[in-house]
Amino acid sequence: TAAVSTGAFAQAFPSKPITFVVPFAAGGPTDLVARRLAESMRKPLGGANIVVENAAGAGGTIAGTKVARATPDGYTLLVWHIGMAATTSLYRKQTFKPLEDFEYLGIINDVPMTLLGTNKLNANTYRDFEAYIRANGGKLNLAHAGLGSASHICGLMWQSAVKLDKSMTTIAYRGTGPAMNDLIGGQVDVMCDQTTNTTGQIEAGRVKAFAVTTAKRLDKHKLLKDYPSLQEMGLKDFNLTIWHGLYAPKGTPPDVLKKLNDALVVALKDPEFIKSQEELGALVATDNRVTPAGHKAFVASEISKLKTAIEAAGQFAD
């Protein structure tokens, strides 16, 4: 009967590939966490195929809108970062509502950022760097991944914290994966990006790092421990950590959401997943933010926190 087959369908989730929509280009920090998470969620989802789709543009809001409007069946999910909470204050035109249009599945990780310069930049320490930017800011380019991206928020907050007379010219990319290539090549001068994308490049000497954005230095990380925190360098209260979360469209059936959340919880305990994040300076989420309610409450608190910071920096998009 129809009733039996409906039941069988619900039982069968997932019975076709799941798509993780990523709001930035391949090869960047969000793509990296999504692909790694897909590998670790596969087994707890019964060997399901999970594919990553990069839907870059407009600081992540294109992907956010796409998933908000997708069929709520658990097959289209969103992996997004702090932009979920920031873009609602940055964009005057809202194409989705972060607290109303999604089901919350859990926070994935917390990722510090590093302030970087191209190797050609005439500075080797944070003090030199700040002085150099103060003197030359108007002539320099800051790369970021679009309004509302983590790299954009960091650049905005840093420039407002050091009170530059002349802001750097900002150049938007489709993700910090491609932006990193131009920083290495010297086509842009400065970028603030997540350690998951920067650690390898710093270690290989392809870019210069000056500071980390967390309140304290990352004293447990073999490479990043050598860089001061911006607070240590006198930027009182500067504290920026990027987090990623997993979302489904509003209205996804509760039994499907439960399977997805259970699989996320298992994936976040996978030693391979933990190692992949810790090696790159990130921490896997372990607290109550890995529950739907904890995740949603956290995003709500981030929305209010970021609204204040964004309004203070006074930069908006239409």
Bridge partner residues of 115 (DSSP): 192, 211
Residue 49 is classified by DSSP as: -
114 binds ligand MLT, rule: CB under 6 A: no
Q: How many helices, marked H, and strands, marked E, lie in the chain?
A: 11, 10
Restricted to residues 291-310, the positions that interact with ligand MLT (CB under 6 A) are none
- Extract the tokens encoding 70: 């997708």
Bridge partner residues of 112 (DSSP): 241
String of DSSP letters for 141-195: EEEESSTTSHHHHHHHHHHHHHT-SSPPEEEE-SSHHHHHHHHHHTSS-EEEEEH
* Residue in 28, 106, 249, 281 binding ligand MLT, rule: CB under 6 A: 28
Q: What whole-number distance in Å separates Cα of residue 114 and Cα of residue 100?
A: 32
Cβ distance to ligand MLT smaller for residue 72 or 281? 281
Q: What whole-number distance in Å separates Cα of residue 8 and Cα of residue 169?
A: 56
In the complex, least distance from residue 182 CB atom to ligand MLT, rounded to whole angstroms: 13
217 binds ligand MLT, rule: CB under 6 A: no
In the complex, least distance from residue 79 CB atom to ligand MLT, rounded to whole angstroms: 10
First to last CA, the chain: 51
**Choices 91-99, 125-133, 149-157, 209-217 (CB under 6 A): range interacting with ligand MLT:** 149-157
281 binds ligand MLT, rule: CB under 6 A: no
91 binds ligand MLT, rule: CB under 6 A: no
* Residue in 64, 177, 281, 292 binding ligand MLT, rule: CB under 6 A: 177
Cβ distance to ligand MLT smaller for residue 244 or 259? 244
Q: What whole-number distance in Å separates Cα of residue 44 and Cα of residue 49?
A: 11
**Choices 66-74, 147-155, 229-237, 247-255 (CB under 6 A): range interacting with ligand MLT:** 147-155
* Residue in 35, 36, 66, 81 binding ligand MLT, rule: CB under 6 A: 81
In terms of phi and psi (left: phi > 0; alpha: psi -120 to 50; beta: otherwise), the region of 297 is: alpha
**Choices 172-180, 225-233, 265-273, 283-291 (CB under 6 A): range interacting with ligand MLT:** 172-180
30 binds ligand MLT, rule: CB under 6 A: yes
| Residues forming the site for ligand MLT (CB under 6 A) | 24-25, 28-31, 81, 145, 149-151, 175-177, 193
